[in-house]
Amino acid sequence: MNVKRQWSTSLILLFLSVLLGACVAPAYNRYEVRFPVTDQSVANGEQAFVDLQCIRCHTVRDYPLPSYAGERPFTVELGGVILNAKTRADLATSIMNPDHRLSERYLDQLTSEQRREVRQSASQQSPMHAMTKGMTVTQLVDLIAFLDSRYNTVSGYYSQPGW
């Protein structure tokens, strides 16, 4: 009876191990956030870019946007040719949490002293405010579609899957 019980327990543990093993996400998207978004508009994203005053600090390479009438504290160009693909999840993170990773294009505009201070500070603060307030989900999705359409990855470099 004891051998039969051990056999049953072993069989159950083997079954549970196989079941749990099937729940592991594939390696290619384990750390990537995916959103099943199918209804987005590049044109509406461009309008959101203007309406949300992104043009105050950002330009888009080789793309005509209305000029900002006020004084720009700095200018960071978005879009263009890049070595590593930006996924839509990267773009969403940059919009919702700009302190997550500071743009090299922004850091290049700082003096060496300012750059050193930013690098040494415990919390790197982006001058861009998080866009989580005052932005609709539709604007976010459209804005990401617009920005995604403006980046080109250099041929031959790894391109991560997007949404």
Q: Higher model confidence: residue 10 or residue 63?
A: 63
3-state class of 82 per DSSP?
Answer: strand
* Architecture of the 39-153 domain: Orthogonal Bundle (1.10)
DSSP 40-58: --HHHHHHHHHHTTGGGTE
Least reliable range by pLDDT among 10-14, 46-50, 143-147: 10-14
Tens-place pLDDT, residues 68-115: 888 888 888 999 888 776 788 888 888 888 877 788 888 888 888 888
Q: For residues 105 and 76, is the Cβ–Cβ distance under 8 A? A: yes
**pLDDT over 80 at 45, yes or no:** yes
The two tokens of residue 3 are 């051998």
Most distant CA pair in the chain, distance: 85
| CA–CA gap between residue 72 and residue 69 (Å, rounded) | 9
Q: Higher model confidence: residue 25 or residue 106?
A: 106
Q: In the predicted model, what is the mean pLDDT of the chain?
A: 77
Tens-place pLDDT, residues 50-78: 999 999 889 999 999 998 888 888 888 99
Q: Higher model confidence: residue 114 or residue 155?
A: 114
pTM of the model: 0.67
**pLDDT over 60 at 160, yes or no:** no
The enclosing H or E element of 114 equals: helix 112-120
| CA–CA gap between residue 106 and residue 25 (Å, rounded) | 35
Tell me, what's the pLDDT at 46? 95
What is the domain partition of the chain in residue ranges?
39-153
